[in-house]
Homo-oligomer: A and B are copies of this chain.
Amino acid sequence: MSSGTSDSRYAARGASATKDEVHRAIAGLDKGLFPSAFCKVLPDVLGNDPDFCNLIHADGAGTKSSLAYLYWKETGLTDVWKGIARDAVVMNLDDLCCAGATGPYLLSSTIGRNKHRIPGEVIEAIIQGTEEYTEELRQWGVDLRCGGGETADLGDLIQTVVVDSTMTARMRRDAVISNHRIQPGDVIVGFASFGTCAYEFVDNSGIGSNGLTSARHDLLHHDYLHRYPESVDASVDSSLQYSGQFHLNESLLEVLGSSLGLAPHASRDGLDFGRWLLSPTRTYAPLISSLLRDIGTEGMHGMVHCSGGGQTKVLHFVKNLEVIKDDCFEIPPLFALIQKITETSWQEMYRVFNMGHRLELYLPESLVASALDWGKHYGIAAKVVGRVGQASNNLTSLQIKGPEGILQYNA
């Protein structure tokens, strides 16, 4: 099933988990007040108070909107676009939380569409979905307000639709979490990206909004290329386009039963495969807010949102340390399925996907119980997934225990 190595497949599709080029492009830029914080932190440009600082951050739903497009075309259901709106928000929200910015926030959405393919009802679902989600978040203690947004008709640039968000926060400088405080002896607590948490109602596949280009093409049937050529990059070899075996409307229980031998589970009952792949990205914002209010910022040595770069993301934020993740979550079914079908190396799987936890905290042992308690409070499975050790020979390194042994990554 694999066309070349998985690495080259990923590159040939024009996605990049590592973004080396982008990192080179921004290498010379000012890194802000806390270069090791998860987001860039600026002085208080907006309030001119030396005790405060500002963050402005951008991200989006990425190619998950191409998957939503297929699902919407097949079913006519516009509510999947509300999920895309959530994805775009959460990709910002959880990044900001990992810098310690727990709100209030300002939010602005930017939607670019091909007007011939994306009608007003889709734009309306995305805009309404964003509004509804901010209301829901406020009920969970996350204060996010929508300012002005932009919807642009860009048919010469965009084949279907791009959904991005930008968020701004202002906070006390002494509340910033900067990952330079991650240190030998820290325990790593991971929080599940999958399952069903207190503010979800059906099974979340856990994929979030990263690795969707790979997942979509590796899992979905070649049929979709012929039916929706507008959902792919025409310059990519067609053998890499929708090279999988599944259809969006297949029963999730049947797919997981026949492919992985999984028993039925009530939270997946009635879900189809497409809807499951489209699971809106879970936010950890309520959990992070509660935990920081509880334990304060002093003991929170680091927070990493395992988004682009998956389980290797932490390598952007540490130096001269050995990060060891030797007890990660059992691999959730979606990632197990992708690996089984594509025979992608585990080395690559952990670099592209979150593989079970999208949030990891770096804490002293004494605070672990509180972290696990707040996980329980929000119905998010949590566990100690590893620890931080001294680097040998000043080498920054990451070890992950995969299903077939130790995976080694260097910074």
* A residues lining the B interface (CB < 8 Å): 13-16, 19, 21-22, 24-26, 29-30, 32, 39-40, 42, 45-47, 54-60, 62-63, 65-66, 104-110, 112, 114-117, 119-120, 123-124, 127-128, 131, 143, 145-162, 164, 166, 168-170, 213, 216, 230-233, 235-236
Contacts and interface: CB of A to CB of B under 8 A. Distances in A.
A121 to B, nearest CB: 9
Contacts of A116: 14, 233, 235-236
B112 A162 contact: yes
Nearest to A163: B157
A234 to B, nearest CB: 8
A236 B58 CA distance: 31
A106 B47 CA distance: 11
Q: How many copies does the complex hold?
A: 2
22 contacts: A13-B155, A14-B153, A16-B153, A19-B153, A21-B119, A25-B123, A25-B128, A26-B127, A29-B127, A30-B146, A42-B106, A45-B145, A46-B168, A46-B169, A47-B170, A56-B148, A57-B108, A112-B162, A116-B235, A155-B235, A155-B236, A156-B231
Going nearest first, the 7 A-B pairs with the smallest beta carbon separation are: A56-B147, A14-B155, A21-B120, A155-B233, A166-B166, A46-B170, A40-B148
A58 B108 contact: yes
A56 B106 contact: yes
Contacts of A154: 62-63, 162
B114 A233 contact: yes
A150 B164 contact: yes
A231 B65 CA distance: 21
Given A25-B120, A147-B168, 6 more contacts: A22-B123, A25-B151, A40-B147, A46-B104, A116-B236, A154-B162
A25 to B, nearest CB: 4
B162 A105 contact: no
Contact of A58 (B47, B149, B160): B149
Contacts of A216: 156
Contacts of A152: 59-60, 62
